[in-house]
């Protein structure tokens, strides 16, 4: 059993970026914890995470107001205590301040603590996103949609319907077409400090060519 930690700025981000993957991990009996750094706009967050099979945690920062120093200290305490094998967080180039701050500190800390790191995509804010790993979430796509529905009241109606819901409904189908399954979520694998071989996953067996 592996311990998986998803560190996201806001409560909807783990669902948009990795909701299906969270459920796939939990179906395989891995322990998944989803941490929302902001503690506002999280109506329905615990219920959504429960549906996906993850433990829901949050810090008390507010949207757009993450104090970097305090966040970095709280995250280190949290990560040392949960002690995950794998860490998922935001893509590193983001037009939303919260997303970029959370990604930078989480990646830095996960490297220091020698975790495997994967970055997820938020279609409305990730700049020039590139992936090298895809997870087939066809069996969890309906759960991803149901999970975000549980958070409907955390957002203004317009934001939910015009930005958040489409970010859940459309990308998995598009990514699925690209990788050859019905629905997929995609990630950038940043590796870990050990082994020291950043492109390890590019090493392919000649038989597969
Ligand atoms: Zn967000």
Question: Which stretch of 11-20, 124-133, 198-207 has the lowest confidence by average pLDDT?
Answer: 198-207
Residue 154 has pLDDT above 80, yes or no: yes
High-pLDDT (> 90) share of the chain, % = 92
* 204-207 LR contacts (CB < 8 Å, sep 24+): none
Task: For residue range 10-60, list pLDDT tens digits in order.
Answer: 999 999 999 999 999 999 999 999 999 999 999 999 999 999 999 999 999
Kindly give the distance from the C-alpha atom of residue 126 to the centroid of ligand 1, in angstroms, as a whole number: 10
Kindly give the distance from the C-alpha atom of residue 182 to the centroid of ligand 1, in angstroms, as a whole number: 26
In three-state secondary structure terms, 93 is: coil
Task: List helix spans (H) across the chain.
Answer: 13-27, 45-52, 68-82, 97-112, 141-149, 157-159, 165-169, 171-179
Kindly give the distance from the C-alpha atom of residue 89 to the centroid of ligand 1, in angstroms, as a whole number: 11
Select from 87, 112, 108 the least CA-distant residue to 187: 87
Select from 77, 71, 79, 67 the least CA-distant residue to 111: 79
Contact 91/119 with Cβ under 8 angstroms? yes
Kindly give the distance from the C-alpha atom of residue 107 to the centroid of ligand 1, in angstroms, as a whole number: 17
Kindly give the distance from the C-alpha atom of residue 152 to the centroid of ligand 1, in angstroms, as a whole number: 14
Q: If pLDDT is split at 50, 70 and 90, which confidence band does 2 have?
A: very high
67 torsion bin: left (phi>0), alpha (psi -120 to 50), beta (else) = beta
pTM: 0.95
Select from 36, 83, 86, 73 the least CA-distant residue to 57: 36
Kindly give the distance from the C-alpha atom of residue 112 to the centroid of ligand 1, in angstroms, as a whole number: 25
Q: If pLDDT is split at 50, 70 and 90, which confidence band does 200 have?
A: confident
Kindly give the distance from the C-alpha atom of residue 122 to the centroid of ligand 1, in angstroms, as a whole number: 8
Task: For residue range 60-84, list pLDDT tens digits in order.
Answer: 999 999 999 999 999 999 999 999 9
Task: For residue range 137-152, list pLDDT tens digits in order.
Answer: 999 999 999 999 999 9
The domain over range 3-208 is classified in CATH as 3.40.50.10320: yes
User: Cα dihedral angle (120, 197, 68, 151), rounded to 10 degrees?
Assistant: 20
Kindly give the distance from the C-alpha atom of residue 125 to the centroid of ligand 1, in angstroms, as a whole number: 8
CA distance 24 to 29: 9
- pLDDT at position 162: 97
Kindly give the distance from the C-alpha atom of residue 206 to the centroid of ligand 1, in angstroms, as a whole number: 41
In three-state secondary structure terms, 141 is: helix
CA distance 68 to 85: 24
The phi and psi torsions of 185 (rounded to 5 degrees) equal -115, 145
């Amino acid at each position: 059993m592996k311990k998986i930690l998803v560190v996201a700025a806001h409560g909807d981000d783990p669902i948009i970026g990795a909701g299906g993957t969270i459920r796939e991990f939990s179906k395989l009996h891995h322990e998944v914890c989803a941490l929302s750094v902001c503690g506002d706009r999280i109506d329905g967050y615990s219920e959504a995470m429960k549906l996906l099979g993850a433990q829901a945690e949050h810090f008390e920062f507010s949207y757009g107001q993450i104090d970097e120093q305090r966040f970095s200290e709280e995250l280190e305490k949290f990560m040392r205590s949960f002690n995950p094998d794998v860490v998922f967080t935001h893509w590193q180039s983001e037009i939303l301040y919260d997303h970029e701050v959370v990604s930078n500190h989480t990646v830095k800390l996960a490297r220091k603590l020698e975790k495997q790191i994967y970055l997820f995509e938020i279609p409305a804010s990730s700049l020039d996103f590139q992936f090298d790993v895809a997870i087939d979430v066809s069996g969890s796509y309906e759960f991803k949609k149901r999970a975000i529905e549980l958070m409907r009241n955390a957002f203004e109606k317009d934001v939910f319907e015009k930005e958040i819901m489409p970010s859940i409904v459309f990308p998995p189908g598009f990514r699925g077409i690209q990788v050859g399954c019905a629905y997929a979520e995609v990630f950038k694998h940043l590796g870990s400090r050990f082994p020291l071989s950043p492109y390890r996953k590019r090493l392919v067996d000649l038989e597969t060519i």
